[in-house]
Structure 1
Amino acid sequence: MELSEPPRSGSLSGAAELTKPPQPGNLSGVAGARGASTSRDQNDAETKIYQTLYLNEKTPARPKEMVSRDDSFVSKAKPSLYDDGFVAPRAPQVVDSTLTAGKFAGGNDGDKLSLIKLASLIEVSSKKATKELNLQNKLSEQVEWLPDSIGKLSTLTSLDLSENHIVVLPNTIGGLSSLTNLDLRSNRITHLPESIGELINLVSLNLSGNQLSSLPSSFSRLLQLEELNLSCNNLPVLPESIGSLANLKKLDVETNDIEEIPYSIGGCSSLTELRADYNKLKALPEAIGKITTLEILSVRYNNIRQLPTTMSSLSSLKELDVSFNELESVPESLCFATALVKLNVGNNFADMVSLPRSIGNLEMLEELDISNNQIRVLPESFRMLTELRVFRAQENPLQVPPREVAEKGPQAVVQYLNDLVEQRNAKSLVVKPKKSWVQMCFFSKSNKKKQSNMEIV
């Protein structure tokens, strides 16, 4: 019995019909590649498709995933025919040893993958030993979870699932044993399975823009991890296990609810960049000084009142941003971090009233922001900052140098302080006038009188 013409895109009745799986031997309209023949070979092929689409999943699809607004699966769009006779849409980017990269033909919701088509794609990718799979913004809104069969992609090295609506990751995600790059940013993931720790070859993990409130303890097993992005989540703390990631180079935890960075952060001995802006930090751990490889440290918009003295050990530090905090002062020890090129201590408002006296040690400094504080006098050593190119000092009650000098730029400030110090030194070196002849005679007579008195005694 022949099927009627497939429903057009946007037809609700046609979408509803997809909730009931078609039976083997009646898939000619779905496959769209064999015509209306009812031969035994066709029935065998259709049975294979039926098993691939509906029988290989361990978890049955929920009705709302099955009722898809995307009926391009049964449309007459030009298909891509694989060697096994299976017809799949030209949708995601798949790269393996036999297939060249393809891209989505458009970005409308009608072009996105339903749960059925995602399961089909996983099966095909598994057979083709796919290396890279790009599903960025390619899943239908109804797809909130991934099929368990995702764990079959053991040859996959790069998986991009960003900008979708995923809520849950299956435990089988740990089966992606070859994965080095996993991008899950901009989804709705609330927690991670413990099996995430089985991705022992993972080098880059992006979880930005989700709804995570904790991290699994298995995170400590991701020993090859070099880049970790946890920004824009709901994390109140970082686990102590973060210190186990000795190969970690970039850590981004900005825009969370973190109140404290654990002392174990000192174990991240390869870390070059740490960003923790927009949190609730009140201090930085003393262990931060152990990370001698650190080049960029940004902790803007927190509640930090003081910096640890151990920052003097940060010999590689080039950029430090502690603006919009509650800093009362900058420790003198920071001036031993002589590799600093950019320093921002602006917008600490009424709390910061001075700069460290030895700030002139930072001879490589090119940018300095002290705006919106209560600084009245710049230290004399400021004149040693000859490499300074950007100096922001607005909204400070500056007296030395005067505000009008500061507004002329950093070199004007350096020159002003140089002149000021030279004038003071010149005054201190003025030679005292010699005593007059009268004074010398009086001094001589007084000495003789003292000597005669001593002889009488």
Structure 2
Amino acid sequence: MEQIEWLPDSIGKLSGLVTLDLSENRILALPPSIGGLSSLTRLDLHSNRIAQLPDSIGDLLSLVFLDLRANQLSALPSTIGRLVRLEELDLTSNYISTLPDSIGSLASLKKLSIETNEVEEIPHTIGHCTSLKELRADYNRLKALPEAVGKIGTLEVLSVRYNNVRQLPTTMSSLENLKELDVSFNELEAVPESLCFATSLVKMNVGNNFADLKYLPRSIGNLANLEELDISNNQIRFLPDSFRLLAKLRVLRVEENPLELPPRHVADKGAQVNYYSSLSLTVLIRVNE
């Protein structure tokens, strides 16, 4: 099938159009008339060559789903903030270095993916995205997360793998619905005590922070629903006393840490925990089986 390289200006006359899929083409730009698609709820533009969005993208007031993966975007127009019904925005695999402050106006946004970009900072206005459930920002250039992230009470998944994050927000106790946290392959120096009050957490990965991460928070035992914990490739020498309170813990990865094998708190749990360590050649063993 021949690939599309451009769209006619007349496309804006399709005011009754609800879904538009233009993915996997060679489109370089969208005409300003795209804003005339006033009934459009789904717009799929992934895998094109779009380098810039027209300001009129903000006129798509009915839009619920917007897929811009695998394009050549370096920025977003501030008018994107007018998409107040937008629930899912995928910007994966572009060249975006900054997000506009207006991102915080996306009050209906539930899923935001900015993976594999060049983002150095997430604007503090992200805290105004009060419906956000998933924030995925893997493979960027983040050095920190704004404190406002820790106040998004609806957040269920937070993933910032492969960045340069040194610290997590101290406000994370407000993440009462957070179930998955992945901060692996960063430069994390500590896990804040406030995170231990995000008691819905089921999976936590702080592995591969190498020489930077040396201890876990004393209150980690508060995470009563934690089932999987990865602390591999760090410099953690001991587990806090409260570790024994993690009654639901089933998988623990500790490869490449200067820990005893197995740690006393894990041994106390007997065969309940699947324990991975460098001394077991990273093969699954069951403690005290």
Same structural fold, with TM-score higher than 0.5 when normalized by the shorter chain? yes
8 Å Cα contact 2:208-2:231 kept in structure 1: yes
Match of 2:248 among 387, 402, 411: 387
Match of 1:411 among 255, 263, 273: 273
Deviation at 1:149, TM superposition (A): 1.6
8 Å Cα contact 1:378-1:400 kept in structure 2: no
Residues 290-343 of structure 1: CA distance to partner in whole angstroms, max 9, x if unpaired? 210000000000000011110111111110000000011111111000010000
Deviation at 1:218, TM superposition (A): 1.2
- 5+ long unaligned stretches in structure 1: 1-111, 113-139, 414-457
Q: Which residue does 2:141 correspond to in 1?
A: 280
Q: Given residue 93 of structure 2, which amino acid in structure 1 is its aligned partner? A: C
Distance in 2 between the 1:410 and 1:296 partners? 26
Structure number, greater radius of gyration = 1
Q: Which residue does 1:371 correspond to in 2?
A: 232
8 Å Cα contact 1:303-1:326 kept in structure 2: yes
8 Å Cα contact 2:111-2:135 kept in structure 1: yes
Match of 1:249 among 110, 114, 120: 110
Secondary structure class of the residue paired with 1:343: strand
- C-alpha spacing 1:148/1:409, structure 2 compared with 1 (3 Å): farther
Match of 2:90 among 218, 221, 229: 229
Distance in 2 between the 1:184 and 1:356 partners? 43
Q: Which residue does 1:131 correspond to in 2?
A: none
Q: Which residue does 2:76 correspond to in 1?
A: 215
Q: Given residue 204 of structure 2, which amino acid in structure 1 is its aligned partner? A: L
Q: Given residue 95 of structure 2, which amino acid in structure 1 is its aligned partner? A: N
What does 1:100-111 align with in structure 2 at a 5 Å threshold? none
Structure number having the greater helix percentage: 1
4+ aligned runs moved over 3 Å, structure 1:
400-403, 408-413
- 5+ long unaligned stretches in structure 2: 276-289
- What is the RMSD of the two structures over their aligned residues, measured on CA atoms? 1.6
For the pair 1:175 / 2:175, whether they are aligned, the reply is: no
Q: Which residue does 1:303 correspond to in 2?
A: 164
8 Å Cα contact 1:162-1:184 kept in structure 2: yes
Percent identical: 71
Deviation at 1:379, TM superposition (A): 0.9
Q: Which residue does 2:200 correspond to in 1?
A: 339
- C-alpha spacing 1:292/1:229, structure 2 compared with 1 (3 Å): same
What does 1:27-426 align with in structure 2 at a 5 Å threshold? 112=1, 140-141=2-3, 143-399=4-260, 401-402=262-263, 411=273
Deviation at 1:171, TM superposition (A): 1.0
TM-score when normalising by structure 1: 0.58
Distance in 1 between the 2:19 and 2:11 partners? 13
Residues 137-175 of structure 1: CA distance to partner in whole angstroms, max 9, x if unpaired? xxx24x311111211211110011001111111111111
TM-score when normalising by structure 2: 0.91
8 Å Cα contact 2:80-2:102 kept in structure 1: yes
Secondary structure class of the residue paired with 1:159: strand
8 Å Cα contact 2:112-2:134 kept in structure 1: yes
Secondary structure class of the residue paired with 1:297: strand
Q: How many residues align?
A: 272
- C-alpha spacing 1:186/1:412, structure 2 compared with 1 (3 Å): closer
What does 1:19-30 align with in structure 2 at a 5 Å threshold? none
Q: Given residue 210 of structure 1, which amino acid in structure 2 is its aligned partner? A: N
Residues 325-363 of structure 1: CA distance to partner in whole angstroms, max 9, x if unpaired? 001111111100001000000000011111111111001
8 Å Cα contact 1:163-1:186 kept in structure 2: yes
